[in-house]
Structure 1
Amino acid sequence: MNERVRRWCYFAGLLAPVWLVVGVMIAGMFYPGYSHYTQAMSELGAKGAPTHILSPLMNNYPLGVLFTLFGLGLVYTFPASISARLSGVLIIIHGLSSCLAGFFSCDVGCDLTAPSDEQNLHNLAGFVMFLSLLLASFLWVFIAKSCLGVKWFGWFSLAISLIAIALLPLMASAVASGDGFGLYQRLSYGSQALWVLVFSALLLEPKVKLPSADVKKE
């Protein structure tokens, strides 16, 4: 993959978080009474929702493509670093899982009491989305300085990983109480999307020296 194509892959990573915010906001506008505070993003594509068809077409599938392209860019940018390439593979998995989460819809209201098989597949895809991006960011805690020559990005990656983990009990509590789940979910995914945004912007920064194909150490 030549440098020009790689830079387009980095740009895909830069675009993905912006697309996520805009896409969810627009889809929510076509769902009367939808609450970004209490309702999960998955409810936009749930069976019976007014945005059942629109949401995956606007969000899951395009985002899946953008994340996959960004992951491919990472794989080809760091040929000598197993950890960096693994982070790229994890981001590709995240992108593919986004498409699967859009293809398999959750039930009306995404009720967890008696989920259908399709909702179980949707939930599994969502879990893989979360875990893959979390692991990808965590890897860069250890390799940011060696691969990018930027020490602060390692600390930033650690902070994002801890934020995503810290929000898990709040999300679980919100599921039980029925209040605030949408907010905590957006903060969790939003923090991970912010990591992708900063990472892609860093890769596009001319001052950052990316490794050449003949680099042999991590």
Structure 2
Amino acid sequence: MLHFLKSLSRTVHQCPEELEKEILKNHDNSNYDTEEDCTISLTVWRKSLIFSCINGFTVIGSDGSLVYRVDNYSRCSDQVVLMDGSGNPIFTICRRRKLRLVDWSWLVYDGEVSKSRINSSSSKPIFYVRKNMKILGKSSKVLAYVYDGVLYDKKCAYTIEGSYTHRMCKILDESRSVLAEIKRKQDAAGGVSFGLEVFVLSFRPGLDSGVAMAIVSLLDQMFS
């Protein structure tokens, strides 16, 4: 799979070959942190493997395999589908549409859901995500709140804190235990800067990796 990703990425992307080689060469630096916290990490490349896509994500596992992907064909799309490495849909992520000028809410559906089904309310979301609005310059490290389903007047399931712009975020549960983190990727050999396009998503038991990646895709829509 590692050789497949290298050859495919060279074919479909117009990006520096050095960056591509370093992403794949250094993916094994994001394996398991310590046996004590059993943290598993994935390398997230903010790039689609499909040439015709405007943007997207390619998520690589510790063995070099393609774990998740997002192929976005529109620069301003308000609906994307998170797929596994084989292209099977896992979650549909879309912005909520209401009769107001601005709605800072997003919905996450299981599998692939069409816009017509979403608009007809025939499908129920599994997560409702609300962006935290900072009013009158008030400082807050909270980026967003994640609720089960659409009933968001109860305690949130997860809170997202930090800065996605700088790729420094944490996903916390109700007890404020850190379940996942987004961090800048460091080149162990030195000399290569990955910038903001390549980062690490690490997660602990208690949070599904697909849910964590869906949250990453949501944050990208909110803050990019």
TM-score (norm 2): 0.29
Higher strand proportion (structure 1 or 2): 2
Q: TM-score, normalised by structure 1?
A: 0.29
> Where is the helix percentage greater, Structure 1 or Structure 2?
1
Q: Using CA pairs under 8 Å that are at least 6 residues apart, name the structure with larger relative contact order, 1 or 2.
A: 1
